[in-house]
Each structure stands twice: as C-alpha cells, then as structure tokens.
Amino acid sequence: MRSTPRLLRAIVPAGLVVALLVGTVPAGAAGPTSAQRAVRGARYIASKQSPNGSVRAFSTVGSTADAVLALVASRQGSYNVARAVRYLRRHVADITSPGLRAKTIMAIVAAGKNPRSVNGVDMVAALKGLLGSDGHYGSSAVLDDALIVLALEAAGAKPPARAYAWLVAAQCPDGGWSYDAPYNPATDDVHCFNGDPVNDYFTSDSNTTAYVVMALEAAHQTAWGADPFAFFDTVRDPAHLGWSYSTGFLSTDTNSTALVIQAYTSATMAVPSGGMAALRDLQLACGAWAYTWSGSSPGGADIGATIGAVPGIEKAPLPIEPGGFDTVRPAKPAACA
C-alpha cells in the first residue's frame, strides 16, 4: 500500500498563525499550505461529530467512515477517529451494504485497527465471499465493486486477477466508468447509455471513474482499453477548472474535484494546472468547504464536501494507510455556519 503525504509542519510567525485560523492572511504573506488547509478542514469535521461518534452527511455510516479517512489523511484527530471507529464497531451488524462494508474496512484499517475482528465480525471474509466466478462481487454496482477492491487492498487481502479483469472490462468506451452497471457492448453507447432515459439513469461519471482508477492503480492493473484521464478532461469545468460529476452539467463541485485529484495522484501524474486552485477556492474562512459555487462566491459550509476535500487537498489517494496523527480540538470560528 502507498503512504499518504506527510503533514507539513511549517514554522510561521505567530501573527500569521492567528490569521490562518480566522481565514485572513497579512499583506505580502503566502496563503495557507495544502497541509494547513487540511488541518482547518479536519477541525471543522471534528466540530460536526455527534456525541455518539458519528459524522452525519450523505449517509451516517458512509460519511463517518469517510470522515475517518479524511482525519487520518490530514494527520489530525486521534480522539475523533477513535470515537468514530467505536461508532462503526457498535453498528457493524447493521452494515450489510457491500459498499458501506468496504468503506468501514478502509476506515478501520486507516485507524490502525483489525477489520477481521470487528465486534466478532470478520468484515474482510464477508466481502471476499461475495466474489463470483466472473470476477464481480455479488450484484453490486460498479462503484461498490471498486470500493470492495480498495477495501481488500487496504486490508492486505489483494483480490484475484479476475476481480481486476471485471473492473477493466466494465469501462465505458469514453474512458470512464458508470456508477451502476458495466459497459454492455450490445446495448450501450460510448458513455454506457442504452438509450432508455426512463430506466438508464447513469452514464460514465468522474466519481466512479476515480474510485476505479485508484483501485486498479493500487494493484498496477491498468490495462484499460481507453484513457480515463482523457475522460476526466471531458468533465472539467472550463470556468473554475475543477471537475463535475458528469458531462451533463460542467460545474465544479468539491467532491468530484477532490476524487479526480486523488486519481491523478494514485497514478503519480501531475494534477492539471488549475485543479488544486479549483479545490482551494471552495474552502471557506472557517475551514469548511462549500460543495460548489453560488454565483461568484462559494456556497455555504458543507460537511460532506469537507470530508471529501481533505484527502484531495492532501493528494492522498485511497487506500489510506494508518499513521501518526494528533488530537483535534473540535472548535470552529464563529463565522462558519
């Protein structure tokens, strides 16, 4: 497994430290580093943690697991990570979705714990048991399949060759991957659309593609038929230079931009010019990220976007290894809604 970038601990003047905490920078001073931005994002995440240890965003289990990954990537929040993992352990029997199981495994591994013994449940064996003879994990969506592969890689249980072959074959001819189903050459166009707008909701998208790229790059199984990085070019916002979810609406959003950055990093490729700035520009003074733009200004603070942004701003691809991290004091500036 790869190591995540180390947190840079720059020695800066006291006045600049205060300025960074409140989101302003003295004239002539450099702006916050990516590591400093990640720390500020981590503090916002910590401030949103519930008393039971969960961090609620799009999915309580999924966002709590993702929050653990964000905190570990930023090398912050040992106290908060421990609370989140305890929450996941208490609810392990209720986590039946393959994708959520996969996210939980990645979080537990990142926290330095054993995913093979989670309140008596061997979560790794549960995922491995889903593998079919065709290389597909049960009937999971392509996105969940990629998450499962990433989770097994994180746990040191590398999948067999047929699992990687299934993911490679699921690629759409445009270079991307679709959330729900693999490419079907008998019915689908180059974007994995079968022509039925009522029943085929999903075409190739940046998020699924980024997860698949990270899963395949982690195992050096990149014999894909089309270039996924060329696909990322097609979903790039020409105005703000970040990435959108799909070609249907080219507008920078934090989660898509962060995932694409992670995918580039997983392949040891330079992030295209302007990509990191696009992610930085959506961070608010309080440390949180907005999901997207509201006119000419970033939108409001969004916990889900902040969770997604932190590994992106740190250029930390999945799976994230455990490492030393500090306790975060869960406080945020009053200016953050």
Mean pLDDT by 10 residues, the chain (337 residues): 35 33 43 95 95 94 98 95 97 94 98 96 97 97 98 98 98 98 98 92 97 98 97 98 96 98 98 98 96 97 98 98 84 68
CA angle 168, 169, 175 (to 5 degrees): 70
Amino acid at 126: A
The two structure tokens encoding residue 115: 């995913």
CATH of domain 34-313: 1.50.10.20
CA angle 25, 28, 33 (to 5 degrees): 50
| Straight-line distance from the first to the last Cα atom of the chain, in angstroms, rounded to the nearest whole number | 37
CA distance 266 to 44: 26
Would you say 325 and 68 are in contact if contact means Cβ atoms under 8 Å apart? no
CA distance 102 to 63: 12
CA distance 205 to 176: 6
CA distance 59 to 302: 14
Amino acid at 157: A
The two structure tokens encoding residue 247: 């070609």
- Cα 332 to Cα 46, 58, 81, 310, 335: the distances in Å are 9, 21, 18, 16, 8
Alpha helices in 223-291 (DSSP H): 228-234, 254-266, 275-280
**pLDDT for residue 334:** 64
| Burial environment of residue 31 by CB neighbours within 10 A (0 to 12, 13 to 18, 19 or more) | exposed
**pLDDT for residue 331:** 65
Residue in 119, 127, 106, 42 with CA at minimum distance from that of residue 309: 42
Residue in 74, 73, 104 with CA at minimum distance from that of residue 86: 104
Tell me the torsion sign for CA atoms 50, 56, 61, 64: negative
- Report domain extents, the chain: 34-313
Tell me the torsion sign for CA atoms 26, 15, 300, 259: positive
**pLDDT for residue 9:** 29
